[in-house]
Amino acid sequence: HENGTKVLLSFAGEGFNEKVSSIEQQKKFIQMMIKFIDKYNYDGIEIDWEKQLSLPLHTDFLSNIRLGLDSLEKKRKDNRHLYLTTALHSWQTYDKELADKLSSSVDWINIMTYDMGGGIWGNIPKHNTPLDKIEKELKNWEVFEREKLCIGLANYGFIYKGLAPKTKIEGNLKEYGKYFSYNNMLPLLQKGWTEEYDNDAKVSYYFSPDK
């Protein structure tokens, strides 16, 4: 805060359905959120509900959180805006009515355009953030106003040993690969790793010196 940074508390993971399907449970959950960010002076809330996501329920949930944040803003004396954001998979689709309702509650939406390939859970090594797939799936979001949308890009990828790109295997990729951060990639470039470019996916990938 001393440096002008905004800090939002992210509620992420599984189990949202159990917490918000009942309106009474949802009220208790939201009250806890509001009290927590007030006590520890956060600047807002981010909801990262990924599994078993119901778009209408999610939208109602965000609307009710917004009401709670608005109420807290009025109680405070600093006139500080409290932010509400949410992270959503890029392949989600909204109709105009639901998109407008969600937009009225959130400051922005973080579109998750990563983990689009085989990762370590699939059986074909593919790109983590292929631009061709991002461009295709972003068409789903044209129903929203652009100023409400942020694109999340991965600062990590996956490294595989002994597999050529797009090679289908039995089992899953964790036997051949692992998560790999950008910072870990940089030293490899000094060791002779070379860039290739996939014209279809519109993205780079790299080979070790021995390929």
- Work out the average pLDDT over 148-171: 91
User: Could you tell me the pLDDT band of residue 190, with boundaries at 50, 70 and 90?
Assistant: very high
Place of tokens 């509001």: 34
Model pTM score = 0.88
Residue % of the chain over a pLDDT of 90: 85
pLDDT at 200: 95
User: Could you tell me the pLDDT band of residue 13, with boundaries at 50, 70 and 90?
Assistant: confident
pLDDT > 90? residue 136: yes
Q: Residue 167 and residue 157: Cα distance in Å, rounded?
A: 17
The average confidence (pLDDT) of the chain is 94
Q: Reduced to 3 DSSP states, what percent helix, strand and coil does the chain have, rounded to the nearest 5?
A: 35, 25, 40
- Work out the average pLDDT over 48-63: 95
